[in-house]
Amino acid sequence: MIKHNPLYQSMINAVSQTLENMVFIEVMEHFDQSYEIPAEDLVWNSLLINDPVQGEIRLAMPKTFLKELTGNIFSIDNDEITQPQLDDILNELLNTIVGLFLTNLLEDDQEYKMGLPELGEEGLPEYDANTITWKLMTDGEDALQIFATGASLVALKDD
Amino acid sequence: MKRIIIADDSTTARMFIKRCLQIIGLGDAEIIEAEHGKEALTAAKAQPVDLLLTDLNMPVMDGETLVKWVKASPKLCDLPVVVITSAGNPAKEAQLLALGAHRVLNKPVSPPVMMEALADFIDEE
């Protein structure tokens, strides 16, 4: 039996801590929970959690928002931004979010192991019964979506 | 002039750490960037280094293995190693400190946290 804190709030706190500390942006739940990021403007990546539960976390956001973040972080104009910079920011955001999520979720004496972020190709995988979704937005109303999959991870969800 | 190695596979993370170092008064330090533990270890052996800042989750050689190698090396065992990771919790921190890490900081690291962690190091300037 894994001792843990509330799963849903652990993720919201992790995303908020990451975005506020890295790019000074506030994050909240999206006012429209049916909102989907248009497929033609979508970028996403994923990271495996290997221990003590097994699952995958995916981060999705509009390309336009990722470009804006990248320009702000590297202090460069839009036409100077390179694809490796976009990829690196997306991966570092997910890496930090998942680390904080697991730190928030699990008890202090519980170690965890996570993999390395991987960029997603084509569209997001279909949701299934073992998927939890967080639909969030920034104070500038840019959408962010997080997906958690994997039976043992999702089993920790709040009652 | 201080010489500092930053080991992290993310360009973004290395840039954040460099900014923190500048803000806390280490902007004059010579920064050597490494994308993984093996590259950092090679750099540390090649020339005298004053501080090693490393991530944990990296390809090729991870940060924990890097700490073990540094602390096992007669040449490098006195080199202060600060781990900056998104994969840290109290259990992991205790394990890394037992291996010989000087401090373990959580990402995203901020200048005040970095300042506090490196206070001794900065005082030596």
B37-82 confidence digits (pLDDT tens) = 999 999 999 999 999 999 998 999 999 999 999 999 999 999 999 9
Query: Is residue A98 scored above 90 in pLDDT?
Result: yes
What residues have CB less than 8 Å from A40, skipping those under 6 apart? none
Q: Do residues B32 and B6 lie in contact, with contact meaning Cβ atoms separated by under 8 Å?
A: yes
What confidence tier does A65 reach under pLDDT thresholds 50, 70, 90?
very high
Residue A29 lies in a domain: no
Q: Which domains can be identified in chain B, with CATH numbers?
A: 3-123 (3.40.50.2300)
Instruction: List CB contacts (< 8 A) between B91 and chain A.
Output: 108-111
Alpha carbon distance A33, B25 (integer Å):
45
Q: Do residues A157 and A6 lie in contact, with contact meaning Cβ atoms separated by under 8 Å?
A: no
Closest chain B residue to A70 measured between Cα atoms? B12
Give pLDDT, residue B86.
Answer: 85
Give pLDDT, residue A17.
Answer: 92
Give pLDDT, residue A57.
Answer: 96
Residue A84 lies in a domain: yes
Give pLDDT, residue B123.
Answer: 66
Q: Do residues A7 and A110 lie in contact, with contact meaning Cβ atoms separated by under 8 Å?
A: no
Tokens of A65: 């928002």
Give pLDDT, residue A23.
Answer: 87
Residue for token digits 């803000």? B23
Backbone angles phi, psi at B52, to 5 degrees: -125, 120
Residue A37 lies in a domain: no
Q: Report angle CA B13, A16, A58 to the nearest 5 degrees.
A: 70
The residue range of the domain holding A101 is: 7-20+42-158
Backbone angles phi, psi at B32, to 5 degrees: -110, 120
Q: Do residues B105 and B111 lie in contact, with contact meaning Cβ atoms separated by under 8 Å?
A: no
The fraction of chain A above a pLDDT of 90, given in percent, is 69
Residue A68 lies in a domain: yes
Backbone angles phi, psi at A107, to 5 degrees: -65, 155
Q: Does B65 touch chain A (CB under 8 A)?
A: no
- Mean pLDDT along residues A123-146: 90
Give pLDDT, residue A156.
Answer: 85
CB atoms within 10 A of CB B123: 7
Residue A30 lies in a domain: no
Give pLDDT, residue B125.
Answer: 56
Residue A101 lies in a domain: yes
- Mean pLDDT along residues A45-59: 94
Letter for the amino acid at A64? Answer: T
Rounded to the nearest integer, the mean pLDDT of chain A is 91
Q: Do residues A145 and A133 lie in contact, with contact meaning Cβ atoms separated by under 8 Å?
A: yes
Alpha carbon distance A81, B86 (integer Å):
25
* Closest Cα in chain B, distance from residue A2 (Å): 15
Q: Report angle CA A12, A17, A18 to the nearest 5 degrees.
A: 100
Tokens of B95: 């394990």
Residue A1 lies in a domain: no
DSSP state, A34? T
Total structural domains within chain A: 1
* Closest Cα in chain A, distance from residue B94 (Å): 10
CATH number of the structural domain spanning residue A50: 3.40.1550.10
Give pLDDT, residue B124.
Answer: 63
Most confident of A2-11, A98-107, B49-58: B49-58
DSSP state, A67? H
User: What is the number of H-type helices and E-type strands within chain B?
Assistant: 6, 5
Picking from B6, B8, B9, B10 by the largest number of A CB atoms within 10 A of its own CB, the best residue to mutate is B10
Closest CA to B58 of A136, A115, A25, A88: A115
Q: Which residue has the higher pLDDT, A158 or A17?
A: A17
**ipTM higher than 0.90?**
no
Backbone angles phi, psi at B38, to 5 degrees: -65, -40
Alpha carbon distance B37, B58 (integer Å):
7
Q: Do residues A95 and A14 lie in contact, with contact meaning Cβ atoms separated by under 8 Å?
A: no
- For the ranges A78-82, A118-122, A152-156, B101-105, which has the lowest average pLDDT? A152-156
Picking from A27, A96, A107 by the largest number of B CB atoms within 10 A of its own CB, the best residue to mutate is A96
Q: Do residues A101 and A10 lie in contact, with contact meaning Cβ atoms separated by under 8 Å?
A: yes
What confidence tier does A59 reach under pLDDT thresholds 50, 70, 90?
very high
Q: Do residues A143 and A37 lie in contact, with contact meaning Cβ atoms separated by under 8 Å?
A: yes
Residue A121 lies in a domain: yes
